[in-house]
Amino acid sequence: MLQTFLPLFIMTFGICLFIVLMQFLWKYIDDMVGKGLDMLVLGEMFVYAALSLVPMALPLAVLLSSLMTFGSLGEQLELLAMKSAGISLIHIMRPLIIFICFVSMGAFFFQNNVMPVVQVKLFSLIYSIRQKSPELDIPEGVFYNQISGYNVYVREKDKDTGLLKNLMIYDYSSGFNNAMVIVADSGRLKMSADKLFLVLSLYEGEAFQNMNKQSGSAQIKEAVPYRRESFLSKEILIEFNANFTRTDESFFQNQYIGKNLSSLQSSIDSLSVRLDSITGFYGNEWYAASYKKSFPGNIPSLSPEAMSVGVDFDSIYRAESPADKAALLSRAKSSAEYVKSDYLFKSLLVGDESAKLRRHFMEWHTKFTISFACLVFFFIGAPLGAIIRKGGLGTPVVLSILLFIFYYVINNIGSKMARDGIWLAWEGMWFSSAVLTLLSAFLTYKAVNDSVILNADTYVNTLKNLLGKRDTRKVARKEVILYSPDYEQQLRRLEALIDRTRAYLLHTERRRNYLAYWKEGGKDEEAEHMVTLMEHIVEELSNSDQNLVLNKLMDYPIIGSCKPPIRFSGKYSGRILAGIFPLGLPVYLFAVCQRKLRRQDILTTEKVSEELKEIIINLIHKKTK
């Protein structure tokens, strides 16, 4: 099993890592293009990115490789051979379960010890790349605005000599009011030796600049002087840092992404104490400034006796003069706005601290959820591969993508709920794991019991039974008949079957009410006995050499299970389920429809049995003659 699984696991892990790495590349492609980055810097970033994406690629690789392994074993009938030898599916999976447990433990140590270092280096490198100035490449025929404070227009460039022709430069580095416009016949652009400045050499041109005076006094409309300059050659020095400067990693090391489990726990404890102290302080402050606490002191003119009796504030307000009323309203409005802004500022401060604490909690749980996802995905992929019995890269890849998309969606839902504080951190981070655990337990149970949950014929037949469409019974004449049927005995069985069908149709002519159905448990034992008797008759008479009998046997309907949709036992179980009205009513209506379809099948059984009885009677008469 290990020899079969390990090559597939290594291959699928490489494929999955490459796919998620391409997703990373498309996400950050705009930050890298046009920066003139060195290949060593790009290679370093891709290495860090690949290591940071291992936790995403590893569960998908486990799922896909386990699906392909057990699907291939099932397709080549090797699983069937091992089960025929008495080896259970769990016993077959045991070596891989041990291996996946080691993989999960390795994923935990990688997530706890390696990921903080990798994430710090990756995010600091991405931040440094974003801060780097773009590579200088002035296009032809358009204004180029990537030089801070300048707009440069070049009509034509000589690619051999690097000469720029017909230049127009807008210099607004000193402000738009003091903008300078420079027009030149040609020019050259080069970088200084330390890559901190651009040196723009211009030839045969003119420069125009406003001499606008800035003053603190009111502006008076007057003529604005300007300066005009003609030159044969002119050099402009422009600040332009083209060096790649790495950002200090200490900032990211203090964030939640740069901490291991012990550091996260220490930060959670300190942040919890800080948040509790802030909320406690604000709570005491709000209570001290509340209306209930400060009401007696705010109105010193009122005695305690008057306070106990009650105060009509409307009458006090109406007794004031109009000017005092306006002053009171203005003061009340200002006080309310001040309180509102103060509460808003404090709520933002508490919200930021709470969000920071939730992020640390989420990262703490992430250390475990990735490892657990590897184990859960194996118990999804291995049973599912044993059920579908398809190897290769076709069906397993499709199923793996669908399952991983489902996991990715519910994982993002849980993370967003935890991040926004709607759910607790452990609820949001373990939500996807809980859903997948239920799915893995279901698939493992079905695979161990050789279920056909992915067999399309099973669902088609079930749907046909629900809609009342039955398959046609096929009875072929046997080339070798070991023993002929006893027609007299089968005739007595047919008469018993006819009597039972008539009694059943008479008894079920009226529909059972809701309470009677749940009291009886929804059972239909008489129908089950008739179906069993009919199948015995068909089985015995299928040994006949008479084509007329065989053709008539094919008119018998194929009746499915007569058991109720929900099986229960006990004296009070039916009454309890009847009381659960939203659940009990649909089950009852479904049982009523099934009973109606079953009556039609029993009616057909009675008619076919009478016709078959006449045929057998004629056969017996012929034999006696």
| Top-confidence residue, 445 or 128 | 445
153 sits in which H/E element: strand 150-157
DSSP alpha helix (H) spans, 33-77: 39-52, 54-75
Looking up tokens 């992404």 gives 257
pLDDT of residue 317: 80
Query: What pLDDT does residue 297 have?
Result: 46
Number of helical H runs and strand E runs in the chain: 23, 6
Average confidence (pLDDT) over 153-165: 83
pTM of model > 0.75 = no
* Segment among 132-141, 264-273, 339-348, 437-446 with least mean pLDDT: 132-141
- The predicted pLDDT at position 531 comes to 86
Q: What does the mean pLDDT of the chain come to?
A: 81
The whole-number average pLDDT for the span 329-350 is: 87
Asked if the model's pLDDT at residue 572 lies above 60, the reply is no
Q: What is the pLDDT of residues 519-568, one digit of tens each?
A: 666 567 788 888 888 888 888 888 888 888 888 888 888 876 666 555 55
Which residue type, as a one-letter code, is found at position 221?
K
Mean pLDDT of 192-203: 79
- pLDDT computed for residue 466 by the predictor: 60
Convert the pLDDT of each residue in 603-621 to its tens digit: 898 999 999 888 888 888 8
Q: Which residues lie closer than 8 Å to 400 by C-beta, 6 or more apart? A: 60, 63, 64, 67, 381
pLDDT of res. 462: 63
Quick: pLDDT tens for 577-599: 555 555 666 767 777 777 788 88
Residue keyed to tokens 């020019």: 187
Q: What span, in angstroms and rounded, lies between the C-alpha atoms of 514 and 510?
A: 13
Q: Tell me: the pLDDT tens digits for 278-289?
A: 888 888 877 776
Question: CA torsion angle for 430, 436, 438, 444 (degrees, to 10)?
Answer: -140
Residue with the bigger pLDDT between 480 and 99: it is 99
Binned at pLDDT 50, 70 and 90, residue 218 comes out as very low
Cβ neighbours of residue 590 under 8 Å, at least 6 residues apart? 565
* CA 310 to each of CA 289, 292, 304, 319: distance values in angstroms, whole numbers, following the listed order: 21, 14, 10, 17
More confident residue, 476 or 21: 21
Amino acid in position 585? L
Residues 6 or more apart whose CB falls under 8 angstroms from that of 393 comprise 68
pLDDT value of residue 309: 52
Nearest to 271 by CA among 368, 362, 370: 362
Q: Among 31-40, 113-122, 580-589, name the one with the lowest average pLDDT.
A: 580-589
Cα–Cα distance, 207 to 180 (Å, whole number)? 7
